[in-house]
Structures are given as structure tokens and as C-alpha cells.
Structure 1
């Protein structure tokens, strides 16, 4: 200490070394702060993605003139961001748990997707949580179609691989090939049409129905899920009431 205090060179070297140590320490502290700040940043990005998806799902095919936006133009679909806090994928009937519930407007029969594609359908909710019937569920059929040909079928899971689901009941008239994209169909009001599901991997013929059975490789890695998006179709109830009334009238005839 006497040497450092009495010689300017030694004093400058000490100060330089001390600054280097403190600078390194502050750098490490800042890195830790940035690491723990990633969660907040990811949350903000997920919220922004939800907003953009809501705009996308409500986009019409027609182009509006000028800046005019008709009433209800962006009212069909609502998108709510959530995070997966529990995920099963090794059972025959798999479920996920989300960190959002009915306080955020989440209800049963809402569709759940990620940035890559379909995840499942909301099953039950509490104030703060919701469970999701996974696409990896042997008793949870969904409507799907071949993107290039618009032929429809039912998306099911045979309970074997977490990376694949099956599109069944596709007519043999359908034009399809390996690598074609499978998306959600327009027959269900749970999901908007054309949400990605996966790509055709293998094609079989079901001898009992004489229809195609398609093995679909999922875009999602169902074993590694983070933020997801819940889709509310605000016109779903209207459609259900109309179809129920139509079926009731048909039964009377």
C-alpha cells in the first residue's frame, strides 16, 4: 500500500487493475440481469405475436379501398397469449396446462396453436389456469385438409409417435403427394382455416373404407412447448345454434 501511495506509476496500475475487476464484475451482474430479463422480454414478444395473429386471422380476402374499415371487420377472432406450464406426451390421452384461465376470457372448446401450428383444444378452465386436450390424444379428432387440393379428412392420433398424427377418411379422388402441407379445414369453427398442422410423410389405403390414410409429420415438437395462443371464434355459438335448429327441423320432416 505504501508503494502504491508513493509512486504514481504503481498507483495508476492499481487503479487500472481495480477498474478492470470492477468492470468485469459489473459486466457479469449486467449479464445476470439481462438473463432474468429475458422472461419479461419473451412475454412481451408473445403478446405482440398474439396481436399480430389476431390481425392475420381476421384478414379478409378482399382489399379495402382507402382507410375505410367496416364495423366488425376485426371482430371474428380473438387471440390470447399463454404459456405451457405442464405438458404430457407419453400417454394415449395427453393434456397440457396453461397459465391463463377464465379471468382472461378463456373457455372450453377454444383452439390452441403455437407459432408452428396446431396444439390442441381447451378442455377445462379455472380462474387462473386451463387444460388443453393435446393433438396427441387418441380421442380428439379435428378437421383437417390437404392445402393444395382442399380435400378434407379427420385428424386423429394412433397413439404411437409424438411426431406424427394421421389424416383419415380422405377420398381417393384427392390429389396428394409426400411433402404436401396439411392445414386446418373450414368445417370447424374452433380453428381459423389454414392453420398449419404438418407435412405428408406416408400415404396408405384403408381397405375397409377404400379411402386414404395419411401419416402427417407435425410442424410442432410436442415435447418442447413454450408460449402458445388461444383462439376464440366469436361467431362459434351463432353457428352452433343455427346448425342445431337446422338438424331439429330436419328430424321433424
Structure 2
């Protein structure tokens, strides 16, 4: 909508234009002598200046409208190209990630049969550390199947539907797993840390356990659910007394950015490596 101020200005310019045309015609047709022509000359010059300015103003208004329309079209095009660019970037990242996961699956083919699954949501009670994946009973998923990523241990299946399943994360205290320090073969149990969400604790350690920061913790295979040799994380610090010692372990899996997992549908009977675990 044109503003009232702009309409007033255009009305004034239109009036000036009409006046200019009238005076120009009058002075052109008038033959009243040199004196009158001399008398009207300054006025005619002023009128012509006003006319040229009015003409320039009309041209400016037209150009401004055209430029405004072109700018609007360009902004729309920029928005469209931005969306397209982001979509193409997402395809690139997705392809890179899929190639990485495919390589991981191929490397683990001798040890495990793996079923890929996409994380579709976190359960409403996410404080319990549950993820929902897009694989279920019709895909061959069963209770207690172990979930892993290319980084390490994720958790275990605790509920199976027709097309989806719930995975209880190793971060949850209800999802304890037998573990062992890779370098020293020190056994223990990994559980979620109540004091430090996002971290793990390795408990039930021998009283003479010698633990160091940076040592690698893997599954021990004890307990009958988690196969041995799956990487869990690294020891970040050791706390407690000699009789109640425990290690704080930072998991290898970044659970906040977890988008895809693998469910171990079959464990192959292959000899363990000499050092106990070559990891995933």
C-alpha cells in the first residue's frame, strides 16, 4: 500500500507537471511581443527546471519500484539456493557416515552378524537412558540383543515390537556389563555413573587393582549377554579407598550424537586375539 505522504508528494508533482505543460504551451503560442516574452522568460526557465526535476522524480520512483521487485526476487532465490545447498551437504555427510558404517560392518563380519538400525527417538522417560530404533521382531530382533556402534558398546535390547525396539544404554545403572582393563586384565563391572551423567563407573575391582588414567576398558564376556572384547571407554580417574576403589570411565560412544547403531544378531565362534580384545 502506498503511504499517505508519498501520495501527497506524487499529487504535488502531478500538479507541477500540469502547470509546466500549460505554461509551456501558452508561451509557445503567445505572440504578445518581446516585452512579454522577456517578462515570462525567468518564470518559464524556473518552470522548466521544476519540470525536469519532476520528470527525474517520476523516473526515480519507477526505478525504485523495479529495484525493490528485483531485490525481492533475488532474496527468494538466495533462500532457495541455501535450502538446496544444505540438502546437498546433508547427503554428503550421510554418504560419508554410511561408508564408515559399511566399512565397520565388513571388518566385524568374522566376529559378528550385524543388523543396522536407525535411532528414531528417545523414550519419553529419557532419564532412564533408553533409545528407540527402527528394527523389531519382523527384522529378527530379540530381547537382550547387544547394540554397538563403530565406536564401541551402546547397550542392550530390553523391549521388542513389530517394527521398533527399545535399547537400554550402558549409561543406565540397570545395564551393567562385565568388563576388563585391556592392559592389565583387571576384571570389574561397568555401570552408569549417578554422580556424573554421561560417564561410567568400573566397580567390583580386586583390592589390589592397579589402575591408571588412559587405560582401555572392554567387555569381558562374563554374564552371558555382552560378548567379550567390545570397547567401552578409557579410565579418566580412579577414586575411592583400597576397599571401595572404582574407576571413572569415559565411554567411546558419543550418546548425544548417536544416530545409527548395529544389533548383534549372531556371535561367531572365532578365537579371541592373544591380548584378549582387538576391539571393534
User: Normalized against structure 1, the TM-score is what?
Assistant: 0.64
- Which residue of structure 2 aligns with residue 45 of structure 1? 99
- Which residue of structure 2 aligns with residue 226 of structure 1? 259
Q: 1:33 to 1:179 in 2, by over 3 A?
A: closer
Unaligned runs of 5+ in 2: 1-76, 270-280
Structure with higher Rg: it is 2
Give SS of 2:254's match: coil
User: Normalized against structure 2, the TM-score is what?
Assistant: 0.59
The structure carrying a bigger helix percent of its residues is 2
- Which residue of structure 2 aligns with residue 72 of structure 1? none
Q: How many residues align?
A: 193
Pairing of 1:172-251 with structure 2 (within 5 A): 172-206=207-241, 210-234=243-267
- Which residue of structure 1 aligns with residue 196 of structure 2? 161
Pairing of 1:63-82 with structure 2 (within 5 A): 77-82=112-117
- Which residue of structure 2 aligns with residue 105 of structure 1? 140
How big is each residue's C-alpha offset from its partner over 1:116-157, in whole Å with a ceiling of 9 and x where there is no partner? Answer: 111111111112111011112122211111011112111111
How big is each residue's C-alpha offset from its partner over 1:9-43, in whole Å with a ceiling of 9 and x where there is no partner? Answer: xxxxxxxxxxxxxxx99x98975664464487368
RMSD over aligned Cα atoms = 3.2
Q: 1:53 to 1:204 in 2, by over 3 A?
A: same
Q: 1:51 to 1:79 in 2, by over 3 A?
A: same
How big is each residue's C-alpha offset from its partner over 1:148-191, in whole Å with a ceiling of 9 and x where there is no partner? Answer: 11121111113233331100011033332111111111214433
Unaligned runs of 5+ in 1: 1-23, 59-76, 237-253
The structure carrying a bigger strand percent of its residues is 1
**Contact persistence 1:50–1:81 (CA under 8 A):** no
Q: 1:153 to 1:90 in 2, by over 3 A?
A: farther
